[in-house]
Amino acid sequence: MSAKGAGRIAGRYLVTGGAGFVGSHVVAALLDRGDEVVVLDNLATGHRNAVLPGARLVVGDLEDAALVDELLAEQPWDAVLHFAALSLVGDSMRDPFRYIGVNVGTGVRLIGACVRHGVRRFVLSSTAALFGAGSDAPIAEDAPVDPGSPYGESKAMLERTLHWAGRVHGLRSAALRYFNAAGADPRGRLGEDHAPETHLIPLVIDAALGRRPELTVFGADYPTPDGTCIRDYVHVTDLADAHLRALPLLDSASVRFNLGSGQGHSVRDVIASVERVTGRRVPHRIAARRPGDPPVLVAASGRFAQASGWQPRFGELDAIVRTALAWREAHPQGYRAGP
Ligand code: UFG
């Protein structure tokens, strides 16, 4: 460890899935404040170029128990942050056993390895998808867990595993339940690049930019004011900041928080925002519902704000869209063309 910044002792963090969308932004936030970061990523969905040069990238799989042991033995670790997972709700409805098998299997083994190596703090990238059907009211941390998809179920199982890791072994953990992560690093270093892209905001932007013929709206017959699904879009840089703020809370207890903006936006709202920000029309057509999609998912994140002083800087949908647009315009090929 080394002293850096305004008297803060720099930390050392192992980040699984640190080449992915949320993970890479959290790695950037840790590096920006002077921490040492090791990323473990198999690059199945992550990108080498999404790991900023200050971090050490180890290309490897969580299924490789010897590699995980070797890395965890490189003490000291201030915390392990676990992002690596299969993360698409729709995919998980087609292949539930793969989602539950991979996410729960790798997660449980990693948690066990952390305990064996004496790691004291663990951060789980969890999800709003464990709230299933959702509700019209903002969802509180103590709302019943009732996943609407195998993906959500896999994260719920890991949250329970962490509960027992805490009870039996004293591992402190933070389960951070993101609502819809979106946007891009405001400094333009990182963005969202999935292949194939399935997330709404990049797809709407691509339709506006003429990079795809049209957007398919999955269902306009939901019980919502305009018939399309409502989600709580939260800027990925705000999520990254939330991780930094969650870490010191683990000095006193394990925690679980919702991370969202508290604002619900329908698919049609997102289309309108992209049209405002780009000044272009978004060609779209209405299609059938996508299995596993709850009609409404909006967070009550007041508890985290209260516990940590977190305040989303990019709370407005247009601000989220602006940063996403800037990265997509600058990186038409995503990370393939370089950092
Ligand atoms: N949608 C469309 N057309 C598309 C893509 C998406 O209409 O082409 C709709 C979806 O039906 C949904 C909304 O846009 O109503 C958002 O869909 P995304 O695929 O962007 O995101 P999800 O809400 O399915 O899931 C995301 C993450 C999950 C996380 C969840 C938490 O991918 O990992 O947010 O709310 F669990």
pLDDT at 1 over 60: no
pLDDT digits (tens, 9 = 90+) for 102-116: 999 999 999 999 999
pLDDT digits (tens, 9 = 90+) for 294-335: 899 999 988 999 999 999 999 999 999 999 999 999 999 999
Average pLDDT of the segment spanning 129-145: 82
Q: 292: CA distance to ligand 1 center in Å? A: 10
Q: What percent of the chain has pLDDT over 70?
A: 96
pLDDT at 226 over 90: yes
pLDDT at 134 over 80: no
CB contact at 8 A, 116 and 169: no
Mutate to test the pocket of ligand 1, among 99, 139, 215, 218 (most ligand atoms within 8 A of CB): 218
Average pLDDT of the segment spanning 133-153: 85
Q: Where do the domains of the chain lie, and which CATH numbers do they carry?
A: 11-193+228-265+291-337 (3.40.50.720)
pTM for the full model? 0.96
Give me the pLDDT at residue 301, please: 81
Q: In the 8-state DSSP scheme, what is residue 48?
A: G
Average pLDDT of the segment spanning 207-213: 97
Q: How confident is the model at residue 2 (pLDDT cuts 50, 70, 90)?
A: very low
Contacts by residues 165-169 (CB-CB < 8 Å, ≥ 24 positions apart): 165/111, 165/112, 165/114, 165/115, 165/122, 166/254, 169/115
pLDDT at 120 over 50: yes
Cα distance from N-terminal residue to C-terminal residue, the chain: 28
What is the rounded average pLDDT for all residues in the chain? 94
Mutate to test the pocket of ligand 1, among 86, 130, 194, 231 (most ligand atoms within 8 A of CB): 231
Element (H, E) at 173: strand 172-178
Residues with CB under 6 A from ligand 1: 87-89, 127-129, 179-180, 198-200, 203, 215-218, 229, 231, 267, 290, 293, 297
Q: 68: CA distance to ligand 1 center in Å? A: 31
Q: 52: CA distance to ligand 1 center in Å? A: 27
Identify the residue whose C-alpha is closest to ligand 1 atom 14: 200
| Residue in 13, 151, 178, 335 annotated catalytic | 151
pLDDT digits (tens, 9 = 90+) for 48-96: 999 999 999 999 999 999 999 999 999 999 999 999 999 998 899 999 9
Residue 99 bears catalytic tag: no
pLDDT digits (tens, 9 = 90+) for 177-203: 999 999 999 999 999 999 899 999 999
Q: Which two tokens stand for residue 192?
A: 């969202």
Average pLDDT of the segment spanning 23-34: 98
Mutate to test the pocket of ligand 1, among 92, 180, 193, 194 (most ligand atoms within 8 A of CB): 180
Which of 3-17, 19-33, 72-86 is predicted least confidently? Answer: 3-17
What distance in Å separates the CA atoms of residue 225 and residue 274, rounded to the nearest whole number? 20
Q: 193: CA distance to ligand 1 center in Å? A: 15
**Residue type at position 87:** S
pLDDT at 212 over 50: yes
pLDDT at 292 over 90: no
Identify the residue whose C-alpha is closest to ligand 1 atom 5: 200
Tell me the backbone φ, ψ of residue 46, rounded to 5 degrees.
-85, 175
From residue 308, alpha-carbon distances to 5, 11, 247, 319 in Å are 20, 19, 10, 23
Q: How confident is the model at residue 3 (pLDDT cuts 50, 70, 90)?
A: very low
